[in-house]
A and B are shown apart, each in its own frame.
Chain A
Amino acid sequence: MEKSQTAVNTFVKETGAWIAAQLEACTRCGMCAEACHFYQGTGNPEYAPVWKIELLRRAYEQRFTLSGKFKLALGLEKAVTDADLTHWSEIDYYACTMCNKCSMVCPMGINLGSMIHDVRTGLSNAQAVPADLHAAVEKQENEGSPLGVTDAVFKQRIEWVADEWEIELPVDVKGADTLVVFSSIEVMKFPSNLAAIAKIMNAAGEKWTISTKGREVVNFGFYEGNEELTVLFASRVFDAAKELGVKRVMVTECGHAYDALRWSAANFMQVPAGIEVTHIAGVLGEFVKSGRIKLKPGAYDNDGAITFHDACKIQRRGSHIQEPRDILNILAPKSFKEMTPNKEEAICCGGGGGVIAIKDADPIRYAAFELKIDQIKKANAKTVAMVCSNCRLQFTDSVQHFNLDVKVAGLSQMVADALVEK
């Protein structure tokens, strides 16, 4: 079968009434373009969010609507071709983090982010995925992690972290309450985050554990839109949780994984009953509020202004908007300053959705980040705090690329460093 036919079949299969109704509601007004950091950063009209679902629309109209069939017959519009797949593969994977900011701006409220995910599924089934992104997916399939964290590497990393920071990291403890699953970005690039989170969990007296089986929270299958692998990667985590008999799974500083496990999984797989999925941002808020951990007030008030970057999947798509702010208001009551826009209207960092894993996307990833630079400058911030290590990777890389005098900080780390020993 031709590739394009595979993609079209996927689009048609995915198009339930909720998708069709949204495609029909679109007035092609173009307002969503101004919401997208990739369009704003580059000015390329093909990065308009609505254009990213063009193939889905064409497949739907030509299959299900009279006007679509009519336009096809008259040659006003063409059927989806293999060349189209190649073209849109770049548009949908390079220039979208699925941050869903566009749906906040669309006057019809069309949920573009999730529809772009559906387009990716079609492209994935047709094997029109950028090579380096797909290589990372395969690596996660075969080695358990897109960054090469194999069983052996994981064990060695955990031992090293425990040693280096002199901290206890419980591994495979049956009957613990909380299964903490790190992302390999933390394991490999920000290992002190492991120590920081361990310190916080221990200080709060939480009964927690890491699992050697469910050790990777990142879901590169979800980035790609690969349904089968998304389920496989998610079930590694859920199976580990079941085996250990935990009450909840805590996603650490990773956004996409939280969207997949907490807000989407039940719609594409059987999730184990009675296991809650939470995020470190929510758990930190809970610990502070209930007094299970105490923070040194004003601990960060002497290093210039601190601002908070809202991650699309943790704040806009995950609702942990207030907790980080409550914490920063304790840690830096005088120097915490908001960027504008913020909270659910925040501008995405530009690195999520797998974009940062695609080398050829670097120029537009940096272009999108320039919006963030502008925001940081306007807030006059010296430090940017965040709760997503994927954002953090994009920030550290881009801060270096643009040679900025800005400190990038994970909130867990800040909290861990400001703990008051009881």
Chain B
Amino acid sequence: MNWENILEFARGPFFQVALLVFVAGMAYRLVRVLALGWKPDRVKAKGSRVGGVAVSFLKGIIIWPFVPWVKNTFSRNPVIYLAGGLFHLGLFVVIFLGTAHMLVWKSLLGIGWFTLPLPIVDWLAAGAIVAMIALFINRLVNPVLKLLTGPAEWLNWLIVFLPMVTGYIMTHHLWLEYDTLFALHMLAVDVLLIWIPMSRISHFMFYFFAKAIHGSDFGKRAVTP
């Protein structure tokens, strides 16, 4: 067995299995939660629930929670805002607007889109990696995070970190053969895909529910969420 075979495996059957686990797993998680039943809110609204949801999402749109000056809590824990924001920004740009990844989407969905020039993607990838290291250290030292962090949280971090660094090293042709790195990158990606539905990385799906519930509750009370 050599790296070429591993790469083939990781890009081929293993990737397909991982993708299947990811899709089926997320669907299972969603159904499982929704099956618990939704109790309608019977309280007469003062403001607009839908309006509240809209504002909640507008404020939440990916970047806003990380914009430092909108929350007075920033000064007390800046790392989580700055590093958390930079990490997610880098992540989204890399996986949606990097050329290599867009091509993956194209092969899966059949449609492609514009991509950003490599240097920009590359710098954001580097930023995301640095941010992840900052988040790691923050988890080690912040008293609240120490309390909240168990093996699952460390694994989340590691399993997102691995595709990041292998991708970055590969792009820069460092240390190992390109194929070796590509194989490692793909293995890491496959593991990530399988891990997401089993862990809190699935937060991106439930984010939309939580934000909507929040907005609706504030809208009902006619308060800006």
Q: How many residues of B contact A (CB 8 A)?
A: 59
Would you call B77 and A30 a contact (CB within 8 A)?
Answer: yes
Would you call A267 and B42 a contact (CB within 8 A)?
Answer: yes
Would you call B144 and A108 a contact (CB within 8 A)?
Answer: no
Minimum distance in angstroms from B177 CB to a CB of chain A = 36
Would you call B148 and A50 a contact (CB within 8 A)?
Answer: yes
Would you call B211 and A108 a contact (CB within 8 A)?
Answer: yes
Task: Give A281 to B59 CA distance when docked, in angstroms.
Answer: 28
Contacts known (A28-B148, A30-B80, A48-B144); A17 close to B200, Cβ less than 8 A: no
Would you call B37 and A16 a contact (CB within 8 A)?
Answer: yes
Contacts known (A109-B215, A317-B223, A319-B222); A67 close to B198, Cβ less than 8 A: yes
Query: Which of chain A's residues have a CB closer than 8 A to the CB of B36?
Result: 15-17, 19-20, 64
Query: Which of chain B's residues have a CB closer than 8 A to the CB of A24?
Result: 29, 33, 200, 202-203, 206
Chain A 136-170: CB-based contact to B (< 8 A → 1; otherwise 0): 00000000000000000000000000000000000
Would you call B210 and A108 a contact (CB within 8 A)?
Answer: yes
From B214, which residue of chain A is reached at the shortest CB distance?
A109
Task: Give A43 to B142 CA distance when docked, in angstroms.
Answer: 11
Would you call B44 and A28 a contact (CB within 8 A)?
Answer: no
Task: Give A15 to B217 CA distance when docked, in angstroms.
Answer: 17
Would you call B43 and A30 a contact (CB within 8 A)?
Answer: no
Minimum distance in angstroms from A39 CB to a CB of chain B = 7
Q: Which listed segment binds A: B89-97, B103-111, B124-132, B150-158? A: B150-158
Taking CB atoms and an 8 Å cut-off, the chain A residues in 318-374 that contact chain B are 318-319, 321, 340-341, 344-345
Minimum distance in angstroms from B220 CB to a CB of chain A = 7
Query: Which of chain B's residues have a CB closer than 8 A to the CB of A65?
Result: 32
Contacts known (A103-B214, A319-B222); A16 close to B38, Cβ less than 8 A: yes
Query: Which of chain A's residues have a CB closer than 8 A to the CB of B144?
Result: 30, 33, 39, 45, 48, 51
Would you call B148 and A344 a contact (CB within 8 A)?
Answer: no
- Any A CB within 8 A of the CB of B221: yes
Query: Which of chain B's residues have a CB closer than 8 A to the CB of A263?
Result: 43, 220-221
From A276, which residue of chain B is reached at the shortest CB distance?
B44
Chain B 32-61: CB-based contact to A (< 8 A → 1; otherwise 0): 111111110111101100000000100010
Would you call A22 and B35 a contact (CB within 8 A)?
Answer: no
Would you call B147 and A45 a contact (CB within 8 A)?
Answer: yes
Task: Give A422 to B79 CA distance when docked, in angstroms.
Answer: 59
Chain A 46-62: CB-based contact to B (< 8 A → 1; otherwise 0): 10101100000000000
Chain A 233-246: CB-based contact to B (< 8 A → 1; otherwise 0): 00000000000000
Would you call B72 and A30 a contact (CB within 8 A)?
Answer: no
Query: Which of chain B's residues have a CB closer than 8 A to the CB of A107?
Result: 60, 65-66, 84
- Any A CB within 8 A of the CB of B73: yes
- Any B CB within 8 A of the CB of A83: no
Would you call B80 and A29 a contact (CB within 8 A)?
Answer: yes
Contacts known (A319-B221, A344-B223); A108 close to B33, Cβ less than 8 A: no
- Any A CB within 8 A of the CB of B163: no
From B221, which residue of chain A is reached at the shortest CB distance?
A319
Which residue in A18, A25, A77 is a CB contact (below 8 Å) of B38?
A18
Would you call B211 and A109 a contact (CB within 8 A)?
Answer: yes
- Any A CB within 8 A of the CB of B101: no
Would you call B152 and A67 a contact (CB within 8 A)?
Answer: yes
Task: Give A105 to B225 CA distance when docked, in angstroms.
Answer: 10
From A19, which residue of chain B is reached at the shortest CB distance?
B36
Task: Give A33 to B151 CA distance when docked, in angstroms.
Answer: 21
From B150, which residue of chain A is reached at the shortest CB distance?
A76
Which residue in A21, A43, A317 is a CB contact (below 8 Å) of B213?
A21
- Any A CB within 8 A of the CB of B17: no
Taking CB atoms and an 8 Å cut-off, the chain A residues in 370-390 that contact chain B are none
- Any B CB within 8 A of the CB of A31: yes
Task: Give A19 to B206 CA distance when docked, in angstroms.
Answer: 11
Minimum distance in angstroms from B65 CB to a CB of chain A = 3
Task: Give A97 to B36 CA distance when docked, in angstroms.
Answer: 28
- Any B CB within 8 A of the CB of A66: yes
- Any A CB within 8 A of the CB of B145: yes
Would you call B32 and A64 a contact (CB within 8 A)?
Answer: yes
Minimum distance in angstroms from B43 CB to a CB of chain A = 4
Would you call A17 and B147 a contact (CB within 8 A)?
Answer: no
Chain B 66-90: CB-based contact to A (< 8 A → 1; otherwise 0): 1000011100110011001000000
Query: Which of chain B's residues have a CB closer than 8 A to the CB of A45?
Result: 143-144, 146-147
Would you call B214 and A111 a contact (CB within 8 A)?
Answer: yes
Would you call B80 and A31 a contact (CB within 8 A)?
Answer: yes
Task: Give A100 to B94 CA distance when docked, in angstroms.
Answer: 36
Would you call B211 and A264 a contact (CB within 8 A)?
Answer: no
Query: Which of chain A's residues have a CB closer than 8 A to the CB of B73?
Result: 31, 34-35, 105
Minimum distance in angstroms from A214 CB to a CB of chain B = 20
Query: Which of chain A's residues have a CB closer than 8 A to the CB of B136?
Result: none
Q: Can you give 13 contacting A-B residue pairs, CB < 8 Å?
A: A16-B39, A19-B36, A22-B206, A30-B77, A30-B145, A40-B76, A76-B150, A103-B214, A108-B207, A110-B210, A266-B44, A267-B42, A319-B223
4 new A-B contacts at CB < 8 Å, known A22-B213, A25-B210, A110-B210: A24-B206, A45-B146, A104-B225, A109-B215
